Amino acid sequence: MTRDEILGAFDRMRVWQRGDQRAVHKPLLVLYALAKVGAGDTATIDWNEAEPHLKALLDELGPDGSGSSRHHPFWHLQTDGLWQLEGPPSILTRPPSATPTLGELRAHHVRGGFPTAVREALIRDPQLLATIARRIVDAHFPESIRPDVLAAVGLPAHLTEAASTVEQLRRRDPAFREKVLLAYQYRCGVCGHNLRLGHQPIGLEAAHIKWFQAKGPDVVPNGIALCSLHHKVFDLGAFTILPDSYQMIFSQHLNGSDDSAEKMLAYHGASLILPQSRDYMPQPEFLDWHRKQVFKSPQRSLG
Ligand SMILES: [Zn+2]
Protein backbone atom coordinates (compact mmCIF):
# COMPACT_ATOMS: atom_id res chain seq x y z
CA MET A 1 0.00 0.00 0.00
CA THR A 2 1.26 3.48 -0.82
CA ARG A 3 1.37 6.32 1.70
CA ASP A 4 -1.62 8.02 0.06
CA GLU A 5 -3.69 4.84 0.02
CA ILE A 6 -3.11 4.37 3.73
CA LEU A 7 -3.90 7.99 4.56
CA GLY A 8 -7.06 7.72 2.45
CA ALA A 9 -8.17 4.55 4.25
CA PHE A 10 -7.84 6.23 7.67
CA ASP A 11 -9.61 9.38 6.42
CA ARG A 12 -12.53 7.26 5.18
CA MET A 13 -12.82 5.29 8.45
CA ARG A 14 -16.52 5.10 9.25
CA VAL A 15 -17.31 6.49 12.67
CA TRP A 16 -20.61 5.40 14.15
CA GLN A 17 -22.74 8.51 14.47
CA ARG A 18 -26.25 9.17 15.70
CA GLY A 19 -27.38 12.78 15.62
CA ASP A 20 -24.64 14.88 17.13
CA GLN A 21 -23.49 12.32 19.68
CA ARG A 22 -19.75 12.07 19.97
CA ALA A 23 -18.42 8.73 18.78
CA VAL A 24 -14.82 8.24 19.77
CA HIS A 25 -14.52 4.44 19.94
CA LYS A 26 -12.69 3.82 16.67
CA PRO A 27 -10.55 6.96 16.89
CA LEU A 28 -9.31 6.01 20.37
CA LEU A 29 -8.60 2.39 19.37
CA VAL A 30 -6.62 3.57 16.33
CA LEU A 31 -4.65 6.08 18.43
CA TYR A 32 -3.94 3.40 21.04
CA ALA A 33 -2.77 0.96 18.35
CA LEU A 34 -0.63 3.65 16.64
CA ALA A 35 1.13 4.28 19.96
CA LYS A 36 1.77 0.53 20.26
CA VAL A 37 3.34 0.41 16.78
CA GLY A 38 5.38 3.53 17.58
CA ALA A 39 6.68 1.87 20.73
CA GLY A 40 7.77 -1.21 18.74
CA ASP A 41 5.33 -3.58 20.45
CA THR A 42 4.12 -6.90 19.02
CA ALA A 43 2.08 -6.88 15.81
CA THR A 44 -1.19 -7.77 17.48
CA ILE A 45 -2.63 -7.03 20.91
CA ASP A 46 -4.47 -9.52 23.12
CA TRP A 47 -7.94 -8.17 23.93
CA ASN A 48 -7.25 -8.82 27.61
CA GLU A 49 -4.28 -6.45 27.45
CA ALA A 50 -6.09 -3.73 25.47
CA GLU A 51 -9.37 -3.79 27.38
CA PRO A 52 -8.43 -1.89 30.57
CA HIS A 53 -6.71 0.80 28.49
CA LEU A 54 -9.65 1.23 26.11
CA LYS A 55 -12.10 1.38 29.00
CA ALA A 56 -10.03 4.05 30.76
CA LEU A 57 -9.68 6.08 27.53
CA LEU A 58 -13.42 5.99 26.85
CA ASP A 59 -14.29 6.84 30.45
CA GLU A 60 -11.90 9.77 30.39
CA LEU A 61 -12.35 11.11 26.86
CA GLY A 62 -15.69 9.79 25.61
CA PRO A 63 -19.27 10.72 26.47
CA ASP A 64 -20.80 9.18 29.58
CA GLY A 65 -21.38 5.45 29.35
CA SER A 66 -19.28 4.86 26.22
CA GLY A 67 -16.92 2.52 28.10
CA SER A 68 -19.58 -0.20 28.12
CA SER A 69 -19.20 -0.74 24.35
CA ARG A 70 -15.40 -0.65 24.50
CA HIS A 71 -15.09 -3.89 22.53
CA HIS A 72 -17.07 -2.69 19.47
CA PRO A 73 -14.25 -1.01 17.54
CA PHE A 74 -11.97 -4.03 18.14
CA TRP A 75 -14.43 -5.92 15.93
CA HIS A 76 -15.88 -3.29 13.61
CA LEU A 77 -12.62 -1.65 12.53
CA GLN A 78 -12.12 -4.77 10.35
CA THR A 79 -14.75 -3.57 7.90
CA ASP A 80 -12.74 -0.39 7.30
CA GLY A 81 -9.86 -2.58 6.10
CA LEU A 82 -7.71 -1.21 8.91
CA TRP A 83 -7.75 -4.09 11.39
CA GLN A 84 -7.24 -7.82 11.45
CA LEU A 85 -8.07 -10.31 14.13
CA GLU A 86 -6.57 -13.60 15.23
CA GLY A 87 -8.64 -16.13 17.13
CA PRO A 88 -10.83 -19.21 16.73
CA PRO A 89 -12.71 -19.55 13.39
CA SER A 90 -16.00 -19.81 15.32
CA ILE A 91 -15.60 -16.10 16.07
CA LEU A 92 -13.63 -14.81 13.09
CA THR A 93 -16.02 -16.18 10.45
CA ARG A 94 -19.06 -14.35 11.84
CA PRO A 95 -20.81 -11.71 9.75
CA PRO A 96 -19.69 -8.11 10.40
CA SER A 97 -22.80 -7.24 12.41
CA ALA A 98 -22.36 -10.14 14.88
CA THR A 99 -20.13 -8.41 17.41
CA PRO A 100 -18.61 -10.92 19.84
CA THR A 101 -19.31 -10.36 23.53
CA LEU A 102 -16.75 -9.09 26.00
CA GLY A 103 -16.68 -12.58 27.54
CA GLU A 104 -15.92 -14.27 24.19
CA LEU A 105 -13.08 -11.88 23.38
CA ARG A 106 -11.59 -12.44 26.82
CA ALA A 107 -11.99 -16.23 26.97
CA HIS A 108 -10.53 -16.82 23.48
CA HIS A 109 -7.74 -14.27 23.84
CA VAL A 110 -8.71 -12.74 20.51
CA ARG A 111 -5.86 -10.57 19.21
CA GLY A 112 -6.17 -7.51 16.96
CA GLY A 113 -3.84 -5.20 15.08
CA PHE A 114 -3.33 -3.25 11.87
CA PRO A 115 -3.07 -5.37 8.71
CA THR A 116 0.55 -6.32 7.95
CA ALA A 117 0.91 -3.95 4.97
CA VAL A 118 -0.34 -1.00 7.05
CA ARG A 119 1.84 -1.89 10.02
CA GLU A 120 4.95 -2.25 7.89
CA ALA A 121 4.32 1.11 6.24
CA LEU A 122 3.90 2.76 9.65
CA ILE A 123 7.19 1.29 10.89
CA ARG A 124 9.02 2.35 7.71
CA ASP A 125 7.61 5.87 7.84
CA PRO A 126 7.16 7.34 11.35
CA GLN A 127 6.05 10.58 9.69
CA LEU A 128 3.04 8.73 8.25
CA LEU A 129 2.16 7.44 11.72
CA ALA A 130 2.38 10.99 13.09
CA THR A 131 0.19 12.40 10.29
CA ILE A 132 -2.55 9.82 10.83
CA ALA A 133 -2.50 10.37 14.59
CA ARG A 134 -2.67 14.13 14.17
CA ARG A 135 -5.56 14.00 11.69
CA ILE A 136 -7.57 11.77 14.02
CA VAL A 137 -6.95 13.92 17.08
CA ASP A 138 -7.77 17.11 15.15
CA ALA A 139 -11.00 15.63 13.80
CA HIS A 140 -12.35 14.53 17.17
CA PHE A 141 -10.97 16.75 19.94
CA PRO A 142 -10.65 20.51 20.50
CA GLU A 143 -7.22 22.08 20.55
CA SER A 144 -7.26 22.74 24.30
CA ILE A 145 -7.18 19.04 25.18
CA ARG A 146 -5.25 17.49 22.24
CA PRO A 147 -2.00 17.15 24.23
CA ASP A 148 -4.00 15.40 26.99
CA VAL A 149 -5.51 12.97 24.46
CA LEU A 150 -2.08 12.15 23.02
CA ALA A 151 -0.60 11.65 26.48
CA ALA A 152 -3.51 9.41 27.48
CA VAL A 153 -3.03 7.06 24.50
CA GLY A 154 0.76 7.09 24.89
CA LEU A 155 1.78 9.23 21.88
CA PRO A 156 4.20 12.18 22.12
CA ALA A 157 2.48 15.53 22.64
CA HIS A 158 4.51 17.33 19.94
CA LEU A 159 2.37 15.67 17.27
CA THR A 160 -0.19 18.45 17.55
CA GLU A 161 2.25 21.23 16.83
CA ALA A 162 1.92 21.11 13.05
CA ALA A 163 -0.89 22.99 11.32
CA SER A 164 -4.30 21.53 11.86
CA THR A 165 -5.50 19.72 8.75
CA VAL A 166 -9.19 19.48 9.47
CA GLU A 167 -9.42 23.12 10.39
CA GLN A 168 -7.74 24.03 7.13
CA LEU A 169 -10.41 22.07 5.27
CA ARG A 170 -13.28 23.83 6.96
CA ARG A 171 -12.41 27.49 7.25
CA ARG A 172 -13.17 29.01 10.58
CA ASP A 173 -14.44 32.48 11.25
CA PRO A 174 -11.26 34.37 12.12
CA ALA A 175 -13.30 36.96 14.03
CA PHE A 176 -14.88 34.39 16.38
CA ARG A 177 -12.24 34.77 19.08
CA GLU A 178 -12.34 38.55 19.05
CA LYS A 179 -16.17 38.65 19.13
CA VAL A 180 -16.36 36.24 22.06
CA LEU A 181 -13.69 38.04 24.09
CA LEU A 182 -15.46 41.36 23.51
CA ALA A 183 -18.82 39.87 24.55
CA TYR A 184 -17.27 38.79 27.86
CA GLN A 185 -15.36 42.06 28.22
CA TYR A 186 -11.99 40.32 27.96
CA ARG A 187 -12.29 38.25 31.11
CA CYS A 188 -12.77 34.59 31.98
CA GLY A 189 -16.45 33.70 32.42
CA VAL A 190 -15.55 31.51 35.40
CA CYS A 191 -12.89 33.33 37.43
CA GLY A 192 -12.77 36.81 35.89
CA HIS A 193 -9.08 36.43 34.91
CA ASN A 194 -8.16 39.42 32.73
CA LEU A 195 -4.39 39.69 32.80
CA ARG A 196 -2.90 41.80 30.00
CA LEU A 197 0.51 42.80 28.74
CA GLY A 198 -0.10 46.26 27.34
CA HIS A 199 -3.35 45.66 25.41
CA GLN A 200 -2.69 41.98 24.78
CA PRO A 201 -4.80 39.53 26.85
CA ILE A 202 -2.70 36.72 28.33
CA GLY A 203 -4.04 33.20 28.63
CA LEU A 204 -7.57 34.15 27.59
CA GLU A 205 -9.31 32.01 24.97
CA ALA A 206 -12.63 31.75 23.12
CA ALA A 207 -14.02 28.31 23.97
CA HIS A 208 -16.64 26.56 21.84
CA ILE A 209 -19.47 25.17 23.97
CA LYS A 210 -20.48 22.70 21.25
CA TRP A 211 -17.18 21.61 19.77
CA PHE A 212 -16.09 22.64 16.32
CA GLN A 213 -15.40 18.88 15.80
CA ALA A 214 -19.13 18.23 16.40
CA LYS A 215 -20.08 20.95 13.92
CA GLY A 216 -20.62 23.60 16.61
CA PRO A 217 -20.90 26.96 14.81
CA ASP A 218 -18.54 29.93 15.17
CA VAL A 219 -21.21 32.21 16.69
CA VAL A 220 -20.99 34.13 19.96
CA PRO A 221 -23.88 32.21 21.68
CA ASN A 222 -21.75 29.06 21.14
CA GLY A 223 -18.72 30.72 22.75
CA ILE A 224 -17.48 31.63 26.22
CA ALA A 225 -14.34 33.55 27.08
CA LEU A 226 -12.30 31.32 29.39
CA CYS A 227 -8.78 31.42 30.80
CA SER A 228 -6.52 28.57 29.63
CA LEU A 229 -7.11 26.51 32.76
CA HIS A 230 -10.91 26.84 32.80
CA HIS A 231 -11.02 26.21 29.04
CA LYS A 232 -9.22 22.90 29.42
CA VAL A 233 -11.30 21.89 32.45
CA PHE A 234 -14.51 22.74 30.52
CA ASP A 235 -13.43 20.74 27.42
CA LEU A 236 -12.51 17.75 29.59
CA GLY A 237 -16.00 17.80 31.10
CA ALA A 238 -15.10 18.64 34.72
CA PHE A 239 -17.89 21.22 34.79
CA THR A 240 -20.86 22.26 32.73
CA ILE A 241 -23.32 25.16 32.74
CA LEU A 242 -27.05 24.85 33.43
CA PRO A 243 -29.11 26.41 30.60
CA ASP A 244 -31.77 27.97 32.82
CA SER A 245 -29.68 29.56 35.59
CA TYR A 246 -26.19 29.68 33.99
CA GLN A 247 -24.92 28.06 37.19
CA MET A 248 -21.66 26.15 36.92
CA ILE A 249 -21.94 22.54 38.06
CA PHE A 250 -18.87 20.43 38.77
CA SER A 251 -18.37 16.69 38.35
CA GLN A 252 -17.92 14.29 41.25
CA HIS A 253 -14.88 12.96 39.37
CA LEU A 254 -12.93 16.20 39.79
CA ASN A 255 -10.50 15.94 42.66
CA GLY A 256 -7.05 17.08 43.75
CA SER A 257 -5.06 18.15 46.75
CA ASP A 258 -6.86 20.54 49.09
CA ASP A 259 -5.72 23.85 47.67
CA SER A 260 -6.14 23.25 43.93
CA ALA A 261 -9.45 21.41 44.27
CA GLU A 262 -10.85 24.02 46.65
CA LYS A 263 -10.01 26.88 44.28
CA MET A 264 -11.78 25.16 41.42
CA LEU A 265 -14.75 23.92 43.42
CA ALA A 266 -15.35 27.38 44.87
CA TYR A 267 -17.20 28.05 41.58
CA HIS A 268 -19.56 25.07 42.00
CA GLY A 269 -23.12 26.42 41.95
CA ALA A 270 -21.99 29.97 41.14
CA SER A 271 -23.28 31.77 38.06
CA LEU A 272 -21.14 32.19 34.99
CA ILE A 273 -19.95 35.81 34.62
CA LEU A 274 -22.42 36.66 31.88
CA PRO A 275 -21.70 38.46 28.60
CA GLN A 276 -22.50 42.14 28.30
CA SER A 277 -25.59 41.74 26.09
CA ARG A 278 -28.50 39.24 26.02
CA ASP A 279 -27.74 38.54 22.36
CA TYR A 280 -24.49 36.91 23.41
CA MET A 281 -25.93 34.59 26.10
CA PRO A 282 -24.91 30.92 25.76
CA GLN A 283 -27.67 29.15 23.82
CA PRO A 284 -29.46 26.27 25.61
CA GLU A 285 -29.06 23.79 22.72
CA PHE A 286 -25.27 24.15 22.87
CA LEU A 287 -25.20 23.87 26.68
CA ASP A 288 -27.37 20.73 26.45
CA TRP A 289 -24.93 19.19 23.98
CA HIS A 290 -22.01 19.94 26.31
CA ARG A 291 -23.79 18.44 29.28
CA LYS A 292 -24.70 15.22 27.44
CA GLN A 293 -21.59 14.72 25.33
CA VAL A 294 -18.71 16.18 27.34
CA PHE A 295 -19.61 16.57 31.04
CA LYS A 296 -18.52 13.71 33.30
CA SER A 297 -21.57 12.81 35.37
CA PRO A 298 -22.57 12.44 38.15
CA GLN A 299 -22.62 16.07 39.18
CA ARG A 300 -21.87 17.27 42.70
CA SER A 301 -24.96 18.12 44.66
CA LEU A 302 -26.11 21.72 44.93
CA GLY A 303 -26.70 23.40 48.27
ZN1 LIG B 1 -10.66 31.25 34.60
In this prediction, residue 170 carries a pLDDT of 52
pTM, 2 dp? 0.85
In this prediction, residue 172 carries a pLDDT of 67
CA of 165 to the centre of ligand 1 (A): 29
**Alpha-carbon gap, residue 260 to 144, rounded angstroms:** 20
CA of 218 to the centre of ligand 1 (A): 21
SS3 247: strand
CA of 203 to the centre of ligand 1 (A): 9
In this prediction, residue 174 carries a pLDDT of 75
In this prediction, residue 257 carries a pLDDT of 83
**Alpha-carbon gap, residue 290 to 86, rounded angstroms:** 39
**Alpha-carbon gap, residue 21 to 121, rounded angstroms:** 33
Q: What is the pLDDT of residues 10-48, one digit of tens each?
A: 999 888 666 788 889 999 999 999 999 998 888 999 999
In this prediction, residue 22 carries a pLDDT of 86
CA of 233 to the centre of ligand 1 (A): 10
Q: Report CA 183 to chain centroid distance, whole Å.
A: 27
Q: With a cut of 70, list the residues of the chain below it in pLDDT.
A: 16-18, 159-172
The β-bridge partners of 201 are 196
In this prediction, residue 1 carries a pLDDT of 84
Share of the chain above pLDDT 90, in %: 77
In this prediction, residue 114 carries a pLDDT of 97
CA of 215 to the centre of ligand 1 (A): 25
In this prediction, residue 14 carries a pLDDT of 82
Burial 13-48 (b: 16+ CB within 10 A, else e): beeeeeeeebbbbbbbbbbbbbbbbbeeeebbbbbe
Task: Concatenate the DSSP letters of all residues of 100-137 into one string.
Answer: PPHHHHHHTT-EEE--HHHHHHHHH-HHHHHHHHHHHH
Q: What is the pLDDT of residues 38-92, one digit of tens each?
A: 988 889 999 999 999 999 999 999 999 899 999 999 999 999 999 999 999 999 9
Rg of the chain in Å (alpha carbons): 21
**Nearest alpha carbon to residue 114 among 29, 53, 43, 39:** 43
CA of 231 to the centre of ligand 1 (A): 8
